[in-house]
Structure 1
Amino acid sequence: MQQTLTLHDRDELLTPLYKFDRKFWMVVGFLIAIITPGMLLYVRQLVLGLGVTDLNRPVFWGAYLVNFIFLIGVSMAGTVISAVLQLLKVNWRRPITRIAESLTVFGLMTAGLQIVMDMGRPDRLINTLLYGRLQAPLMWDIASLTLYLLTAVFALYLQLIPDIALLRDTAPTAAPAWRKKLYSILSLGWTGAKEQWRRLEKAITVVSVFIIPIGISLHTVTSWLFSTTVQPGWKSTILGPYFVVGAIFSGIGLLFIAVSLAREYNKHLKEYITETFYTNLGWIFIVMSAVWFYFTLNETLVVVTEQETLEFPVMASKLFGQFAPAFWGMNILMIAATWILVAPKFVSDKPSRNPLFQTVTGLVATIISVIIFFVLWLQLPALSAPAIQTGLLLAFILFFIFALLGVTKWMKTRLITSTVIASAFVLFGMWLERWNILMPTLTHARLMPYTTYTPTITEIAVTISTFGILTLMFVVFYKFFPSISIWEVEEGRALEQGSGE
C-alpha cells in the first residue's frame, strides 16, 4: 500500500513536530517542576535508607508497590486496543493505536521504576536474577514484566516504521541533521514496496497474537505475589482474573484521558479522533465496569458472609475501619463513573423541567455530598453518636443520588467531557482498589500484631514524580513522532472509499 498523504495532512500532522513553541516548553517546565521534588526526596531516601518512609515490619510494601500494580494495569490499554482490535479488524481503532501502544511502553517503564524505588539497595536488583528461585512468583513477575516490555516496544516500533520513513522523506530543509539521520536509521530502508507492506502486516499480526497472553500473564503472575501466600485477604484463586479485569478497566480509562489531552494540546487531532472512538470504546468500558463490580461484590459478599477468623478482620477494616474511606471512596467513584457512562444513553435529548435533572441541582448536591463524606471520614467526636452517623450516611446517599441525577442531562450533550470525567473517576478508584488489596492485609498480617501505615511525604512526592515522568515521556515522544498512525489512517480511508464504491 502506497501512502497518499495530502498537503492538509502534512501540515496538520508533520509540521508541528518541528515547532518547539512556548506551549511545549511550558508543559515540559511544569512537568519537570512536578518531578524534581520527588526525585530529590528519592535521592535522600537512597542516602538515609527506607527509614524515611513508613515501610516497616510487617508493612514491607507500601505506596510504591500500589503504584507498580496500578501502572502495569494501565499498560493493558495497548494490548486491548492495538492487539485485540487489530486482530478483529476494527476500523475506528486506527487513529488511536499509537497512543495506546505508547501508553503500554511508558506505563511498563515507570512500573519498573517502582521496583527500584521500593528497594533500599537498588544496586542489588541484579541479585534477584542471579540468585532467584525459579518457583518464586517474584522471579516470574520480573521475567513477565521484561518480556511484556520488550514485546510492547517491538510492537510500537513495527507500527512506527512507515511513518518514520515518511518523516525521513519529508523532513524540512531547516530540520537538524541529527534528526534526519535518526529517521534514516530507524526507517530501516523502508520504501513502501508491496513486499515490505506484506511482511510488516504479517509481523504486526504475529506480535498482536503473542502480546495478548503475555499481557495477561504479567497481571496474573503479579497477583500470585499475593495469592500464593497464607495472608488473610490474599489467599484467593480469584485474584488473578480480578487483576486482569482491573487492568483492562483502568487501561481504557487512561487511554481516554491521554487521547483527550492529545486532542486538546494538538487541536488538529480532533479531525482524526472523533466521537466515534469515544462511543465505541465507551461500550467496552461499560462492560468492563460491570465485570469489575461482579468480582468486587463476589469477593466482599463471600468474606462478609462466612466471617472466617483471619479473613473477616481484614474485610472489617475496609468496611468500617481505618481503610473504610478508601474502600467506600473507591466504590463511590466507580458507581459515579458507571452512571456517567450508562445513564445518558437512556435519557431523552429533549429539555426537562424536572428539577432533579437540572445541572444546578447536580452541582449543589455534589458539593453537599462531598462535605458529608469528609465529615464521615474525619470521624469527629461530636458527631460520633450512632444515630448521627446513620443520619449522615443516609443524607450522603440521598444527595449522592441527587448529584448523579442532576448531571445526567449535562453529560448527555457532552460525550467527550463526560467520558473523561468517568475515566478520571475510574483511574483514581482503581488506584484505591490496589491500595485496598495491599494495605488492609499488610496491616493485619497473619501471626503478627496489627499495625497502621501512612505514606510519608517522601512516598507521596515520589508517587507524584512517577506520574509526572509518565506524562513527560508521553509529551517528548510525540514531539518526534506523529501521535496518530498516519499510514493506518490512510489505509482506513482507502478501505472506506473502496466499500463506498
Structure 2
Amino acid sequence: MTRTSPADRIVEGVLHPRSSRAWRAGFTLACLLTMWLVAGIVVLLARGVGIWGIAMPVAWGFAITNYVWWIGIGMAGTFISSALYLTRQGWRTALNRHAEAMTVIALAVSGLFPVLHLGRPWFAYWLAPYPDRMGLWPQWRSALVWDFFAIATYVVVSVLYFYVGLLPDLAAVRDRARTRGRQVVYGMLALGWRGDAQHWQRHTRLTRMLAALALPLVFSVHSMVALDFSEGLLPGWHSTIFPPFFVAGALFSGTAMVIVLSVPLRRGFALEGVLTDAHFDRLAKLLLAAGWIVTYGYVAEVFTAYYGGDPYDIAMVRHRLSGAYAWVFWATIACNSVAIQALWWPRVRVNRTALVAISVLVLAGMWLERFMLIVTSLYRDYLPSSWGMFHPTVWDIAFLLGSMGMFLLLFLLFVRYVPVLSLSEWRRQDARPGDGA
C-alpha cells in the first residue's frame, strides 16, 4: 500500500460511494429525527411558541439552550483549522476538512432557534437595519442586535473559508469523474480550477486572509453571545467573566465534537495512517486545557458571589447547589470537570473508546451547563411572587433531538459527496516526511 492511498481511497469513495451498514443506519436515524424536527416547526408556526414549556418567568428554555450549545460547537472547527494554519502546524491536515464542515453545519442548525424563538419568525428581518418608514430601528445599544451582525459575519467567513479550501479537491474529483453528470456538477463547484501557479498563489493568499479573519471572529462571536446574558440585570447573568468563559466553553464542546466525529471517520475511511494517535493525544490535551478554564469559571462564579456579599447572587448560587435544579449543576460538574481528569494519563488520551466516552459526557455537560445558566437565573427572580418552574414538553425534546438528527444528516451527506481529507494539503504534507504529527 502506497502512502498516497488514503487520498486515492477518498476520491474513489466520492465517485463510487458504497453505503456501509453503519452509514445506512445512521442516515435512517438522522432522517427520522429530522422529520420530527420539521413536524415540530410546522406545529410551532401553526400554534406558536406555547407548544414549548416556556412561560413567565422562564421565558427562555430549550430553544436558547440549543442555540448557545450549537453555536459553541461551531466555534471550535474554524478555530482549530485557522489557528493551526496560521501557525504552520502540519497535523492540521488530518482534521481541518471535517472540523470546518462541522462548523458550517452547526451554524446552520443553530440559526434555526433564535428565529423560531421570536414567536413571529416571519418578522426576523426586523433585526436588520433596513430602511423603515415607521422608524422602528433596532436598538444599537442592545447586544442582541450586534449578536445578529457578529454571527452573520462569522457565517460568511466560515463558509468562504470552507469552500475555498475545497476548490482543489473538487477539481480533483471533477478530473477523475467518468460520468458526464458528475463532471458537470463538480466542474461547476470547482469554479474553473486548473491548478496552475497563478491559481495556487491566489488560493494561498485568500486562505491566509480568511484564516486571519476567522480567528478573531471566533472570540468576538461567542463574546457577543455572552453579552446577551451579561447585559441582563439578573443574578447569575450580570457577570464580566462571561465573555472569556463562553469562549472557553465553545472551544471545550467543539473540541469534544471533533473527537466524536474523528473516530468513526478514521475507521470508516481507513485513515489510520492519517489520523494517528498523536492527533488524538493533542486533541485530548486541548480538551483538558479548555475544561480546566471552564472549571475555573464555575469556581470563580461561586467565589465572587460570596465574596461580593450580594444577597441575591448568594441566593442564586444556593439555588444552583441545592435547589430544584441542583441535579443539573452537579451533573454539569461531573461531566465537565470530573470526567476530563482521566485525560491526565497518556494511555487514556490515545484510547479512542475512552476519548469518545469522555467527549460525549462533555457535550452532554455543556448542554446542561447552558440549561443551568438560563433556567436557574430565571425561575427564582427578585420577588417570590414571580417564581415559577420550567417543565419541558415533548416538543422541547423534539427540537433538541431533531437538531441532532439534522446535524447528523448533513454531516453524513458531507462525507458521502465531499472529500473528507484535504487532498492537496495531504500530498504536500506527505512530500515532507518528518513534518507534522
The answer (yes or no) to whether the contact 1:341–1:418 under 8 Å persists in 2 is: no
- The reply to whether residue 470 of structure 1 matches residue 407 of structure 2 is yes
CA spacing shift, 1:186–1:41, aligned 2, 3 Å: closer
Match of 2:10 among 7, 10, 13: 13
Q: CA deviation at 1:260?
A: 1.2
Match of 2:370 in 1: 434
Q: CA deviation at 1:29?
A: 1.6
Match of 2:335 in 1: 333
- The reply to whether residue 149 of structure 1 matches residue 187 of structure 2 is no
CA spacing shift, 1:412–1:243, aligned 2, 3 Å: closer
Q: CA deviation at 1:7?
A: 7.2
Please tell me the residue identity of whatever aligns with 2:296.
Answer: Y
Match of 1:479 among 410, 416, 421: 416
CA spacing shift, 1:301–1:181, aligned 2, 3 Å: same
Q: CA deviation at 1:288?
A: 1.3
Match of 2:25 in 1: 26
- The reply to whether residue 161 of structure 1 matches residue 97 of structure 2 is no
CA distance in 2, matches of 1:104, 1:414: 24
Q: CA deviation at 1:197?
A: 1.4
SS in 1 for 2:284: helix
CA distance in 2, matches of 1:298, 1:138: 26
CA distance in 1, matches of 2:349, 2:47: 54
Q: Which runs of 5+ in 2 are unaligned?
A: 131-136
Moved over 6 A (4+): none
CA spacing shift, 1:117–1:178, aligned 2, 3 Å: farther
CA distance in 2, matches of 1:292, 1:461: 29
CA distance in 2, matches of 1:185, 1:35: 29
Match of 2:394 among 439, 457, 469: 457
CA distance in 2, matches of 1:53, 1:445: 21
The answer (yes or no) to whether the contact 1:340–1:419 under 8 Å persists in 2 is: no
The answer (yes or no) to whether the contact 1:42–1:458 under 8 Å persists in 2 is: no
SS in 2 for 1:268: coil
The answer (yes or no) to whether the contact 2:280–2:349 under 8 Å persists in 1 is: no
Give matches, 1:16-415, under 5 Å: 16-17=13-14, 18-21=16-19, 23=21, 24-129=23-128, 130=130, 131-171=137-177, 173=178, 175=179, 177-264=180-267, 266-342=268-344, 344-345=345-346, 412=348, 415=351
- The reply to whether residue 425 of structure 1 matches residue 345 of structure 2 is no
CA distance in 2, matches of 1:276, 1:9: 18
The answer (yes or no) to whether the contact 1:95–1:488 under 8 Å persists in 2 is: no
The answer (yes or no) to whether the contact 1:38–1:465 under 8 Å persists in 2 is: yes
Please tell me the residue identity of whatever aligns with 1:257.
Answer: V
Q: CA deviation at 1:269?
A: 2.3
Q: CA deviation at 1:43?
A: 1.5
CA spacing shift, 1:192–1:439, aligned 2, 3 Å: same
Query: So what's the TM-score if we normalise by structure 1?
Result: 0.81
CA spacing shift, 1:119–1:308, aligned 2, 3 Å: same
Q: CA deviation at 1:58?
A: 2.2
Residues 351-370 of structure 1, C-alpha deviation per residue, up to 9 Å, x if partnerless? xxxxxxxxxxxxxxxxxxxx
Identity of aligned residues (%): 27
Q: CA deviation at 1:446?
A: 3.9
The answer (yes or no) to whether the contact 1:54–1:455 under 8 Å persists in 2 is: yes
CA distance in 2, matches of 1:493, 1:234: 49
Residues 320-344 of structure 1, C-alpha deviation per residue, up to 9 Å, x if partnerless? 00111000001011233222211x2
Q: CA deviation at 1:35?
A: 2.1
CA distance in 1, matches of 2:250, 2:122: 30
Q: Pick the structure with greater CA Rg.
A: 1
SS in 1 for 2:398: helix
Please tell me the residue identity of whatever aligns with 2:411.
Answer: F
Match of 2:379 in 1: 443
Query: So what's the TM-score if we normalise by structure 2?
Result: 0.92
CA distance in 1, matches of 2:228, 2:434: 51
CA spacing shift, 1:252–1:497, aligned 2, 3 Å: closer
Residues 235-255 of structure 1, C-alpha deviation per residue, up to 9 Å, x if partnerless? 111111110110111111111
The answer (yes or no) to whether the contact 2:40–2:399 under 8 Å persists in 1 is: yes
CA distance in 1, matches of 2:58, 2:152: 26
Q: CA deviation at 1:305?
A: 4.2
What count of residue pairs does the alignment treat as equivalent?
Answer: 425
CA distance in 1, matches of 2:349, 2:417: 35
SS in 1 for 2:388: coil
CA distance in 2, matches of 1:450, 1:69: 24
The answer (yes or no) to whether the contact 1:340–1:418 under 8 Å persists in 2 is: no
Please tell me the residue identity of whatever aligns with 2:19.
Answer: D
